[in-house]
Amino acid sequence: MVELEVIADGAVLVGDDGMIRAVGPYRELRRRGGRARVEPVEGVLFPGFVDAHTHALFGAPRLAEHELRSQGADYQAIAAAGGGILSSARDVRSRSRPDLAKLAQTRLRALLASGTTTVEIKSGYGLSVQSELDQLAAIGALRSPPSVIATFLGAHEVPPEFRSRPEEYVDLVVDEMLPAVAQQGVARFCDVFCEPGVFTVEQSRRILGAAREHGLALKLHADEIDGSGGAELAAELGATSADHLAAISPAGIAALGQSSVVAVLLPGTMLFLGKTARAPARQLIAAGAAVALATDFNPGSSPGVSLPLMAMLGVSQMGLRPSEAVIAITVNGAAALQQAETRGQIAPGFRADLVLAAMEDWRELPYWYGVNLVQRVWVGGAACHLRGLPVNFAG
Amino acid sequence: MVELEVIADGAVLVGDDGMIRAVGPYRELRRRGGRARVEPVEGVLFPGFVDAHTHALFGAPRLAEHELRSQGADYQAIAAAGGGILSSARDVRSRSRPDLAKLAQTRLRALLASGTTTVEIKSGYGLSVQSELDQLAAIGALRSPPSVIATFLGAHEVPPEFRSRPEEYVDLVVDEMLPAVAQQGVARFCDVFCEPGVFTVEQSRRILGAAREHGLALKLHADEIDGSGGAELAAELGATSADHLAAISPAGIAALGQSSVVAVLLPGTMLFLGKTARAPARQLIAAGAAVALATDFNPGSSPGVSLPLMAMLGVSQMGLRPSEAVIAITVNGAAALQQAETRGQIAPGFRADLVLAAMEDWRELPYWYGVNLVQRVWVGGAACHLRGLPVNFAG
């Protein structure tokens, strides 16, 4: 059982380097603070939230697809009507890098305003060598806050020009994209959409094995629709995280439980798509896995930005305890990005990423929903400007 | 099929009385506007949203209950642990009217900031003659905006002192509460929680029949858990709305379809409670019923304030088309409160309740989620102050 430590009338002492020096009751810290400037706040102070899975660099929202889905269209019908990942790829390929960056920046402000201080962003709407590199460059050029961690997802989908010869696209990812990504140092992680009909377990193993040789850490879109071995592969390869998992098999649960792979669950995606499957969070925890929650922010299956809302969904849809839900968007989110040593906790040696929420009790975080109670956000000790929120989400 | 009319480069001409005089393309209206002051705005202008079902006057959030539920506790176990409606009733009874009003006012600001310009609020945490009257007085004293419509819900639950003799509580509602409520003119509607284990169809018929004689319009909490005749009763009595309906029977669907009762669906409640049942919105529409969506904002089963989020859930969870979801929180919400002639539309003769959202396409309203894209709100033509949002939701 996860326990949160709550300090009443607490204070945080932050150094000039933006790192936390000390945490404790204000009375005690006041003595140690020396000449530190005191900034009084009222509410509950959380560690900055860490969103470990997004596709936040995209162009237009996929509104027609949303309407088609409400009329019962499935993934195939939507793809046949020109929708799906490939429609976002066409859109992204057609835009200039400044245009894309501006859109992403606007959207990141909404994440920040909901308390997200670290966000992972994947490429994967490029699907050609140059376009994937362009996307990673655009992600790398985004201004903090929130701070951004880039993931290369060239294997997000097989592009149309390779539809009849998917192995050749895997060759392209392995032989051309990965070496260039590694050489340019533009991504920390490599991810693959491992799912029947997209990339097989064999293809995923090949891509991720090559990525590891290039020094990238590994992630997997695993077992979203079909429990076909994605989680097992993540454990086999020592991936940092396995994400989605709504259809994970019992063997997959056992494999994750015995590994150090973080299970990143995306309840907003199942909700937005109107699916009834839910990732088996309780079974994963019982098996020993660490569970994180993320938004999956993207224009097709989860145009949602709020980690507190994901925490509420973690409780209501997956049976997480409120404490587990808070851990899932802080400590475990950070672990899913290899940042657990400096982010996701309010403790000495951690970066002063802090979220002040207008509440009296931390349990309110996964309780009130559809309202943003985040009042102030600090990243690396610096107060963030939260005003003047989204003017145009649509692009 | 519901159609929305979209006017590009549109304008609204508002009279000094706060009512809409004309709507149309700006170029045309400019000629008719005479000396009217022009206020340029950018985005999509919606009719103010109408939340037709809330219990927004309450005390503390029920956080312990939320945690118990995450551990698998059912309604009975929660009640046995001191939770449920009765715990909110104890809490509300113990608070002063100014305290309650202040809390409600804070919370209403969050509804307003999400675009709600008219909100229904029920009593029902009093469950004694004086306490119900006190609550209705507190509701009546709330400052607009949003504008508030009061519903008497003395029959929300059988209070503990009547547990062994529920008929006597029904007597109290009929013989003492209703006459006093009617005489004081503090409620427009009477509502009953009609559900096996709460109030039976017979008891509900008796209370609502008496309410009608006192000149109150009727609502029903119907068929939330068990399809036991609530919807049929609403049709029989000519109620203004039947609410919840997650377990409505085929006979109930047919009855509502042939009546003018508005079906008020509450998708946030099923979501927050982690239930898989969904009100059959498509069947209701196919049968001819008008469907509204509301928040059910309350501390036990739906601490959510956002009608745009309910619209997203209407699409994703109930198969509403985006246009139907928008209609459900505007036109049909107004109809569920007998306000369809002056609220819920941007049209001549309607009150100038307007919501400006930061989007390019109205279909973005039930699409982006977990982010509030409402930028400006007007009620009766007057711009509302949206800054300085919730400082303390918990009370």
Identify the segments of chain B with pLDDT beneath 70: 1-2, 387-395
Instruction: Note whether B128 and B262 are same-domain residues.
Output: yes
Taking the C-alpha atoms of residue B74 and residue B64, their distance in angstroms, rounded to an integer, is 13
In this prediction, the answer to ipTM > 0.90 reads yes
Residue that terminates a domain, selected from A294, A312, A335:
A335
Category of B5 on φ-ψ map: left (φ > 0), alpha (ψ -120 to 50) or beta: beta
Taking the C-alpha atoms of residue B361 and residue B43, their distance in angstroms, rounded to an integer, is 8
Give residue A394's pLDDT.
67
Cβ separation of B272 and A61 shorter than 8 Å? no
In CATH, what number is assigned to the domain containing residue B369?
2.30.40.10
Residue that terminates a domain, selected from B335, B357, B376:
B335
Instruction: Note whether B256 and B296 are same-domain residues.
Output: yes
Asked whether the predicted pLDDT for residue A41 surpasses 50, the reply is yes
Residue A112 within any structural domain of the chain = yes
Instruction: Note whether A191 and A143 are same-domain residues.
Output: yes
Residue A280 within any structural domain of the chain = yes
The beta-carbon neighbor of B321 closest among A71, A272, A366 is A71
Residue B391 within any structural domain of the chain = no
Average pLDDT value for chain A: 95
| CA separation, residue A284 to residues A340, A380, B47, B231 (Å) | 20, 32, 45, 41
Give residue B80's pLDDT.
82
Predicted structure pTM score: 0.97
Q: Using the structure block, give the residue that is written with the tokens 């509030």.
A: B372
What is the percent of chain A where pLDDT is above 70?
97
> Could you give the number of structural domains in chain A?
2
Taking the C-alpha atoms of residue B182 and residue B352, their distance in angstroms, rounded to an integer, is 30
Instruction: Note whether B252 and B378 are same-domain residues.
Output: no
Cβ separation of A393 and B371 shorter than 8 Å? yes
Contacts of B367 in chain A (CB under 8 A): 61, 63, 66, 303
Q: Picking from A28-32, A154-158, B189-193, B351-355, which range would have the lowest pLDDT averaged per residue?
A: A28-32
User: What residue numbers bound the domain in which B380 lies?
Assistant: 10-47+348-384
Residue B335 in tokens: 């109809």
Cβ separation of A321 and B390 shorter than 8 Å? no
Substitution target in B63, B271, B301, B364 with the highest count of A β-carbons within 10 Å is B63
Q: How far is B36 from chain A (nearest CA, A)?
A: 27
Q: Using the structure block, give the residue that is written with the tokens 């672990």.
A: A335
Residue B205 within any structural domain of the chain = yes
Residue A330 within any structural domain of the chain = yes
Instruction: Note whether A203 and A112 are same-domain residues.
Output: yes
Give residue B82's pLDDT.
82
Residue B395 within any structural domain of the chain = no
Asked whether the predicted pLDDT for residue A131 surpasses 50, the reply is yes
Taking the C-alpha atoms of residue A363 and residue B333, their distance in angstroms, rounded to an integer, is 32
Residue A340 within any structural domain of the chain = no
Q: What is the mean pLDDT of residues A335-358?
A: 97
Instruction: Note whether A123 and A181 are same-domain residues.
Output: yes
Q: How far is A152 from chain B (nearest CA, A)?
A: 25
Identify the H or E element spanning A221.
Answer: strand A217-222
Q: How far is A184 from chain B (nearest CA, A)?
A: 34
Q: Note every long-range contact of A20-23, with CB atoms under 8 Å and residues 24 or more positions apart, other chains counting.
A: A20/A346, A20/A347, A20/A348, A20/A349, A20/A350, A20/A351, A20/A352, A21/A348, A22/A348, A23/A346, A23/A347, A23/A348
In CATH, what number is assigned to the domain containing residue A327?
3.20.20.140
Instruction: Note whether A14 and A139 are same-domain residues.
Output: no
B24-51 pLDDT tens trace: 999 999 888 788 889 999 999 999 999 9
Give residue A341's pLDDT.
97
The torsion defined by the Cα of B242, B243, B249 and B255, in degrees rounded to 10, comes to 20
Instruction: Note whether B18 and B111 are same-domain residues.
Output: no
| ∠ Cα B318 B324 B330 (to 5°) | 115
B235-254 pLDDT tens trace: 999 999 999 999 999 999 99
A282-302 pLDDT tens trace: 999 999 999 999 999 999 999
Give residue B282's pLDDT.
98
Q: How far is A115 from chain B (nearest CA, A)?
A: 12
Contacts of A363 in chain B (CB under 8 A): 63, 66-67
Residue A156 within any structural domain of the chain = yes
Taking the C-alpha atoms of residue B269 and residue A103, their distance in angstroms, rounded to an integer, is 34
Instruction: Note whether B267 and B372 are same-domain residues.
Output: no
Instruction: Note whether B95 and B228 are same-domain residues.
Output: yes
Substitution target in A369, A374, A376, A391 with the highest count of B β-carbons within 10 Å is A369
Instruction: Note whether B65 and B26 are same-domain residues.
Output: no
Give residue B387's pLDDT.
64
A190-223 pLDDT tens trace: 999 999 999 999 999 999 999 999 999 999 999 9
Instruction: Note whether A96 and A192 are same-domain residues.
Output: yes
A97-126 pLDDT tens trace: 899 999 999 999 999 999 999 999 999 999
